[in-house]
Structure formats: C-alpha cells, structure tokens
C-alpha cells in the first residue's frame, strides 16, 4: 500500500491520499504542511479537488481510496498554458498584420503612387508622361482609363 501511495505522490499536485479498509486506515500519506490533516479538511476547502473512490469486492463495499489535489498547482499550469496561447495568438496576429501591410503597400499603394505622379505630370502639361499599366486589377483598370484620357486630350 505504501508503494502505491509513493507512486501517486510522484505527481506534485497530490497533497493527500489514504486507503481505508472496513473503516480502518491502512495507508495514509500527505504532503507538508498538510500531512496531518484529515480528509474532511480537504473536502471542506475550495483550495483542493477531492475524489473519494469506493473499493468493492464481489459487489460489496470494503473500503475507500481518498485523494486530494491542490488547485494551486493546476491553476498555475492553467494560467501558464493560457499565457502561452495568448502570446502565440499575439504573434500570429502580428505576423498577419505585417503581411497585410506589406502586401497592401506593394500591390495597392506603390502602383497608386506611380499613377499619382504620372497624372500630376499630365496635369502640369506633360502629355508624354508614361503611365505603367502592369496590373490586371482595379489599379490597372484605372491606369488604362487615365491612358485613354491622356490620349484623348
């Protein structure tokens, strides 16, 4: 029985475990400072998760296995996992944002700036100003229309 409890206590979150047989405690182990506390202490406290399990033989209850787990360590693990997820999410959002900014600047702003410079030169009387029509999208469509307007003047 002691080997069983030692194996259970390899998990740091376990603070109390006991095995009773026909009302008599066969084995009990507790982690400091809880080693002398009765199982009822853990049942009444919100700091612990408790699980009493009945032991049956031939359909008859012959004993109980009591275990108490500290919520403190599981809560810390939960919050560390939550923090990891939050950091990962922020990294993904930052990567997506940077990619969007890069793509927007390259495929929308840069062609529009070139088009703006060309239309500015046309407005100042340079009807030979080159207008690059390199995209087959809305910006390319706009550039073709400006070429048509320039050629019509």
Q: What is the pTM of this model?
A: 0.56
Q: How many residues does the chain have?
A: 153
Q: What is the per-residue pLDDT for 113?
A: 92
**Residues 18-75 pLDDT 10s:** 888 887 888 888 888 888 888 889 889 989 999 888 988 888 888 989 999 999 888 8
Q: What confidence score (pLDDT) does residue 1 get?
A: 67
In the structure, what pLDDT confidence band is assigned to residue 103 with cuts at 50, 70 and 90? very high
Domain ranges in the chain?
2-71
Q: What is the pLDDT of residue 88?
A: 98
Give the contacts of 46 (CB within 8 A, at least 6 positions apart). 71
d(CA 151, CA 143): 12
Instruction: Give the largest CA-CA distance in the chain.
Output: 106
Helix then strand then coil, in percent of the chain rounded to 5, is: 55, 25, 25
- Whether residue 5 contacts residue 27, with contact meaning beta carbons closer than 8 Å, is answered with yes
Using CB atoms within 10 Å of the CB of residue 32, give its burial: 0 to 12 exposed, 13 to 18 middle, 19+ buried.
exposed
């Amino acid at each position: 029985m002691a080997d069983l409890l030692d194996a259970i206590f390899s998990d740091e979150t376990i603070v109390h475990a006991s095995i009773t047989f026909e009302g008599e405690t066969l084995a009990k182990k507790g982690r400091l400072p809880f080693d002398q506390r009765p199982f009822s202490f853990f049942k009444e406290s919100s700091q612990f998760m408790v699980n009493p399990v009945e032991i049956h033989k031939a359909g008859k209850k012959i004993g109980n296995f009591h275990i108490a787990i500290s919520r403190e360590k599981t809560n810390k693990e939960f919050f560390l996992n939550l923090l990891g997820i939050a950091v990962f999410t922020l990294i993904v959002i930052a990567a997506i944002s940077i990619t969007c900014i890069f793509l927007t600047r390259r495929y929308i702003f840069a062609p529009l700036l070139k088009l703006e410079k060309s239309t500015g030169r046309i407005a100042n009387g340079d009807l030979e100003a080159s207008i690059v029509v390199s995209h087959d999208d809305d910006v390319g469509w706009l550039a073709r229309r400006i070429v048509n307007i320039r050629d019509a003047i």
